[in-house]
Amino acid sequence: MTQTETRPTDAGRTAAPRVMVLGLGGCGCNAVRNLHRSGADGAGLVAADADGESLEASPAGTKILMGPESNGGLGSGGDPEAGRLAALESLPSIMGSLGGAEVVFLACGLGGGTGTPSSVLVAEALSRLEPRPRVVACATTPFSHERTRTGPAREALAELGRLCDEAVEVSNARLSETMPGASFAEVMAAADETLRLAVGEALRS
């Protein structure tokens, strides 16, 4: 796919959506897909990932391949430095997709190679805008058995808390404890419900 792919808007829509939801990395793009399925009328949906094959399946109105030159759409391979370079390369396209928004939701998973560095880079860029939109990060943190991801996730969450108006942590570890016997898909659906409710509230306000 090309670096940025935008579907035509409805004939009657002339203004940019007031509320934008940006999914970053695999987890964030999955959240955007689930939000699309559950209905998010009025919100603009953007999916940005370094994995071109995964991105192709996204129903988002705008899809951005991060790092087409640095990794050729092959993903970050769990390497945060590869994810950071990919996000830096495509940051102008990502920021351009959010133009005019009053509220921006950043959906991401923390602890991996793409969502972790890209979410912080985008939050930092948004914090420098004038006028500045309200920025809410909905960040999923690792399961308890993903110990190597926990440290980077906590560091990124702290950065998002500093840069964003609000950083909402959705802990997979806590969800799995409160949902004994639930499948992985069920836990993920419960995590995405937080984003759906927050976006719905923003659209109504």
Burial class (CB in 10 A: 0-12, 13-18, 19+), 182: middle
Name the pLDDT band for 41 (thresholds 50, 70, 90): confident
Q: Which of 119, 132, 59, 104 lies closest to 202, judged by CA? A: 104
* Partners of residue 49 on adjacent β-strands: 65
Residue 194 and residue 181: Cα distance in Å, rounded? 20
Is-contact 26 34, C-beta < 8 A?
no
Name the pLDDT band for 5 (thresholds 50, 70, 90): low
CATH topology of domain 24-204: Rossmann fold (3.40.50)
Residue 40 and residue 21: Cα distance in Å, rounded? 10
Look at the alpha carbons of 190, 154, 116, 165 in this order and tell me if their dihedral is positive or negative.
positive
Q: What share of the chain is helix, strand, coil (3-state, %, to 5)?
A: 45, 20, 35
Query: Can you tell me whether residue 31 is helix, strand or coil?
Result: helix
Is-contact 138 129, C-beta < 8 A?
no
pTM, full prediction = 0.91
pLDDT score at 188: 83
pLDDT digits (tens, 9 = 90+) for 123-178: 999 999 999 999 999 999 998 889 899 999 999 999 999 999 999 999 989 988 98
Residue 41 and residue 195: Cα distance in Å, rounded? 14
pLDDT digits (tens, 9 = 90+) for 61-97: 999 999 999 999 899 999 999 999 999 999 999 999 9
